[in-house]
Amino acid sequence: MKVLVVDDDEISRMPLVRLIGTLPGVTDVVEAEDGEAAWALLDAGLRPVLCCCDLYMPRLDGIGLLERTRGHPLLAPLPFVMMSSAADRDSVTRAVSAGAAGFIVKPYTPQTARPALERVLSKSRQRQVEAAAEVRNRLGISQTQLVQVTRRWQAEATTLLDGLDALDIEERQQALRRLHGAALTLGQLRCAELLEPVLGAGTEAVRAPVREVLLLADAWLAGAA
């Protein structure tokens, strides 16, 4: 799992990056110096499970970045934990009203920051993907078999994306229904959520969600294999 840390103060980023790197399941911590830099990463395909973002930054502040992601159909579910040295009620209200999942006051300590981060990460994981152990138990397969069948599902998504223009309406809908059903079976909850609204959609509406499914599948396989 990747986590994005956005803060224009490099000194403040360093201890937080170290802390996040010790959290269960986190495989990579990506840093950005402000909201615009973070947005460039997200727009280019970065898909973290959490964004830890300073509230006040030049160019694009934390609220602006959060609002921009909420307006993007593929990035809207990304949870934010806001950070600021301003502990006043207005700052907290701004962050919560914009949709922040948590708030950390600077200067933070591991003892105060870790519980908030672990809580949001746990909720994010539960929303995106069912625990591998639960999927294995439900399907009666090993981890190796789960990875293999997930790779086959990913290959089907790639084949669909590559051949979209050649499919008629019925063929496209059948392929999407298979992908959606397999996503639910494999516990890929966010992927199923992305596919469901486009089961009956036209070709162009299907491309972005399927690309997103492939990104999510890559991220899951990188951590599971």
Do residues 72 and 183 share a domain? no
Which of 93, 128, 163 corresponds to the end of one domain? 128
Do residues 170 and 220 share a domain? yes
Do residues 80 and 139 share a domain? no
Question: Could you give the number of structural domains in the chain?
Answer: 2
Do residues 13 and 99 share a domain? yes
pLDDT for 223:
74
Do residues 14 and 76 share a domain? yes
Do residues 91 and 139 share a domain? no
Do residues 28 and 121 share a domain? yes
Q: Which residues are bridge partners to 50 per DSSP?
A: 3
Q: Which residues are bridge partners to 81 per DSSP?
A: 52, 102
- The closest of 196, 203, 220 to 162, measured between CA atoms, is 203
Contact between 73 and 208 (Cβ < 8 Å): yes
Helices (H), the chain: 10-21, 35-43, 62-70, 89-98, 110-128, 132-139, 143-162, 169-185, 189-195, 203-224
d(CA 128, CA 2): 13
Residues 6+ positions from 12 with CB-CB distance below 8 Å: 54, 83, 106
Domain range for residue 196?
132-224
pLDDT means per 10 residues, the chain with 225 residues, are 89 89 85 95 87 91 92 85 79 82 84 87 77 90 94 94 90 93 91 87 88 87 76
Which of 128, 157, 174 corresponds to the end of one domain? 128
Do residues 109 and 163 share a domain? no
Do residues 98 and 13 share a domain? yes
Both tokens assigned to 42: 């997200």
Which CATH number fits the domain that encloses residue 29? 3.40.50.2300
d(CA 170, CA 113): 50
